[in-house]
Amino acid sequence: MTTLASEPATTPREARVEFRTEPSRYRHWRLTFDGPVATLTMDVDENGGLVPGYELKLNSYDLGVDIELYDAVQRLRFEHPEVRTVVLTGGKEKVFCAGANIRMLAASEHAWKVNFCKFTNETRNGIEDATANSGQTYIAACNGTASGGGYELALACEHIMLVDDRSSTVSLPELPLLGVLPGTGGLTRVSDKRHVRRDLADYFSTKAEGIGGAKAVRWRLVDEVVPRTAWAATVRERAAAFAERSPRPADARGIGLPPLDKTRTDDRVAYRYVDAVLDRDRSTVEITVLGPEEDAPADASGVHARGADFWTLAMTRELDDLILDLRTNETSLGTWVLRTRGDAKRVLAHDALLLDNARDWLANEIVLYLKRTFKRLDVTSRSLIALIEPGSCFAGSLLEPALAADRSFQLAGVFEEVDPDADPAAITVGPMNLGPLPMGNGLTRLATRFFGDPESLTAAESARGGPLAAADAERLGLVTFAPDDIDWDEEVRIAIEERTGFSPDALTGLEANYRFTGPETLETKIFGRLTAWQNWIFDRPNASGPDGALRKYGTGRRADFDRKRV
């Protein structure tokens, strides 16, 4: 069961959402196993909404349903490496999933709707990442109608099966019924992933009743339709066939993902390796990530032996949870100040161990999880400022947050009055920065930083391996500013105070545009284009106003649209 950290509230914004869960607490999903095939069945508890005020009828979902889905996808990758195919199906008769719950959306404030869509987008991207990089292929077995977000969930799968019973369809009815867009990548996946012709996609997305049967196959909306009499057997055959193609090791033994040790108060969120201090007066969060406490194991067997306690995995789980917590529960804390502390050599040694054992399934999964978590940081609508000080370990994988930051400051020298004998602040470019952790645009953060400037990129990459003092890092363009200890406090203070004084809406637009440099991909379209348009549409009266489509849905009355095209 997904829980709230406070008493039930009347609106989502009044409750603190907790993202930690595990299968024994699920209310909406069932996970079963048959050798290399897992079946993930969506059977939503109608009365199990995250907050009161709506019923989750027809396998519709809210954030609580998707929190469980995200947890299940993670556990399949780490706890069940023997699984090669995941069948995603519905547990209700004649319905796969009706999509996001409309009454929940209509009653939610704007920020809740936007964050909800962002998280569900990331979860679906994780499903695609498992198929592409982990040998766990997802099949959507749509046992009934898949509508809106339900069809978007199916679109995240590699293969879509639809029951052929003359009534089941796939549809994206958001535009004709609700005056909004499909919120979790539906338009992009229809065109860019399934290659549905533009004119057909246009027609499909304006027909609330959807399309089924042979036409859905011809239009590439699904891969096959199957008579109900042959449904169960055909699903088993497809799952077995995809499992045969997987490179996933058949004899692998998974590792457990125990509950995170987390302390949450009104002004602090603390884990073992990640700590966040919430300063409500300054609208900031001071985030510190600690490096490894121990040397890296000698080989991959040590990674398996430490399991969830292996530093990179433990730190990544904590950072992932923190980002989700702050993004959802602390929308007014708009500036995140990023620090690290620890031994840079140990960070680089842990990185090297993972990369040297890239063919080991667990090492591979940890790197992929690190990649997804830093991507989550990239698409978070918060200002990111990295502070590189003596004692920092911005090296290799932990250099990525500094490269993701909107600005970075590296101290030139040391704090003379604090510790004049300390080693000067340094950063280190490592192999993790040169390919294994790409952004959503498919480029490394270094390549994004120096997009269109190959000479600077080559110079930065050539500096890998050794610590770089502030003057060298600034010269190479790896940090924004390198003040000395006389100017440090004032420059950092001004940067943070200025940031918190700007319009949050304008900052969100500014940051998203600069972060998505370079080629457009499915992910950048979803987070850079779709999210921006949906954000705007959600806030318009045609959708969310008193006479908007979201509020009129189900009343029998038509929405009153402002007909001006903008």
Full-model pTM? 0.95
Over 60: is that where the pLDDT of 102 sits?
yes
pLDDT in tens, 39-87: 999 999 999 999 999 999 999 999 999 999 999 999 999 999 999 999 9
Q: Check pLDDT > 70 for residue 316.
A: yes
- Say whether pLDDT at 13 is over 70: no
Q: Are residues 232 and 298 in the same domain?
A: no
Residue 135 lies inside a defined structural domain of this protein: yes
Last residue of a domain, one of 492, 515, 538: 515
- Vertex 115: Cα angle to 109 and 116 (nearest 5): 85
pLDDT at 540: 87
Structural domain contains residue 437:
yes
Same domain, 270 and 235: no
Instruction: Tell whether 213 is covered by a domain.
Output: yes
**Torsion over CA: 318, 480, 474, 418 (sign):** negative
Question: CB neighbours of 133 closer than 8 A, spacing ≥ 6?
Answer: 364, 368
The last residue of a domain, from among 498, 515, 532: 515
**Catalytic residue set:** 152, 174
Asked if 173 and 273 sit in the same domain, the reply is no
Residues 76 and 222 both lie in one domain: yes
**Inside any domain, residue 377:** yes
Between CA 439 and CA 370 the distance in angstroms is 11
* pLDDT value, residue 106: 87
pLDDT above 90 (res 365): yes
Is residue 421 in some structural domain?
A: yes
Which alpha helices (H) appear in 37-172, and where do they start and end?
63-79, 102-107, 110-133, 149-155
Domain holding 498, by residue range, is 263-515
CB atoms within 10 A of CB 566: 5
Model confidence at 247: pLDDT above 70: yes
Residues in the chain: 566
Contacts of 422 (CB under 8 A, 6+ apart): 390, 391, 414, 415
Give the mean model confidence (pLDDT) for residues 381-393. Answer: 97
Distance CA 473, CA 403 (A): 12
Task: Among 190, 216, 245, identify where a domain stops.
Answer: 245
Q: Is residue 329 part of a domain?
A: yes
Name the band, by pLDDT with cuts 50, 70 and 90, for residue 14. Answer: low
CB neighbours of 360 closer than 8 A, spacing ≥ 6?
Answer: 300, 303
- Show the CA angle centred on residue 400, arms to residues 397 and 405, nearest 5°: 160
Task: Check whether 300 has a pLDDT greater than 50.
Answer: yes
Q: Which pLDDT band holds residue 308 (cuts at 50, 70, 90)?
A: very high
CATH number for the domain spanning 433: value is 3.90.226.10
- What totals of helices (H) and strands (E) does the chain contain, helices first? 22, 20
Same domain (yes/no): 220, 276: no
239 and 267 within one domain: no
520 occurs within a structural domain: no
Domain identity same for 225 and 271: no
Dihedral angle sign, alpha carbons of residues 69, 75, 78, 83: negative
| 438 vs 374: CA distance, rounded Å | 9
The Cα 181–Cα 178 span in angstroms is 8
Residues 311 and 337 in one domain: yes
Question: DSSP character for 258?
Answer: P
**Number of domains comprising the chain:** 2
Enter the tokens of residue 320: 């992932």
Name the pLDDT band for 531 (thresholds 50, 70, 90).
Answer: confident
> Does position 284 have pLDDT exceeding 60, yes or no?
yes
> Do 239 and 269 reside in the same domain of the chain?
no
Evaluate whether residue 527 is within a structural domain. Answer: no
Residues 56 and 150 in one domain: yes
End-to-end Cα, the chain, rounded Å: 43
Confidence at residue 554, expressed as pLDDT on a 0 to 100 scale: 83
Q: Are residues 272 and 311 in the same domain?
A: yes
**Do both 481 and 342 map to the same domain?**
yes
Show the beta-strand stretches assigned E in 362-455: 383-388, 394-395, 407-410, 427-428
Q: At what angle do helices 63-79 and 110-133 cross, to 10 degrees?
A: 20
